[in-house]
Structure 1
Amino acid sequence: MADFLWMAPRKNELPIPEGFPKGKRLLDTKGVAAVLGVSIREIDRMIERGQLPVPKKLGTQRRWLEKDIIAFIDKL
């Protein structure tokens, strides 16, 4: 199920180490939007409506635990 969430590393991004536990990755807004097939603005709307889990803040950046997005998809 979680294999479809793998994304090719972007520029200046390290690949995921072999054996890294599934569900422990952090996804950025673009990654979540790509997985769900929606725009970044729709991600913002879904957060405002309480449909998506609130992201963790890392400075000014928002990140979601992969397992939280998987749980969201499983509830659909």
Structure 2
Amino acid sequence: MDDFIDAKTFAKKFGMSVRKLDYLIENGDVPRPIKIGNSRRWSIAELEQWISQKLEEAKLPPSK
């Protein structure tokens, strides 16, 4: 089973407020969380994959 982190931990790890994280979620800029009870959680494995993808995208030359 995957390990999960909550919104507060996610926001702290990326140097932002939970409110900013909420904004990014609504805009589709970060992976959507899963709901466990009343809590929002992210799979650490999924976040690591998302980070790797974003790093690869940053390396690509801009398209013309």
* 1:37 aligned partner: 15
Name segments (4+ residues, structure 1) moved above 3 Å. Answer: none
Where structure 1 has 5 or more consecutive residues not aligned to the other structure, the ranges are 1-20
Q: Distance in 1 between matches of 2:50 and 2:11?
A: 13
The alignment's TM-score, normalised by the length of structure 1, stands at 0.63
- Structure 2 residue identity aligned to 1:25: D
Q: Distance in 1 between matches of 2:49 and 2:15?
A: 16
Structure showing greater radius of gyration is 2
Where structure 2 has 5 or more consecutive residues not aligned to the other structure, the ranges are 56-64
* 2:37 aligned partner: 59
Structure 1 residue 48 displacement after superposition: 0.4
Structure 1 residue 28 and structure 2 residue 3: aligned? Answer: no
The alignment's TM-score, normalised by the length of structure 2, stands at 0.74
The answer to which structure has the higher helix fraction is 2
Structure 1 residue 49 displacement after superposition: 0.6
Structure 1 residue 41 displacement after superposition: 0.3
Task: Name the % identity.
Answer: 37
- Structure 1 residue identity aligned to 2:21: I
> How many matched pairs?
54
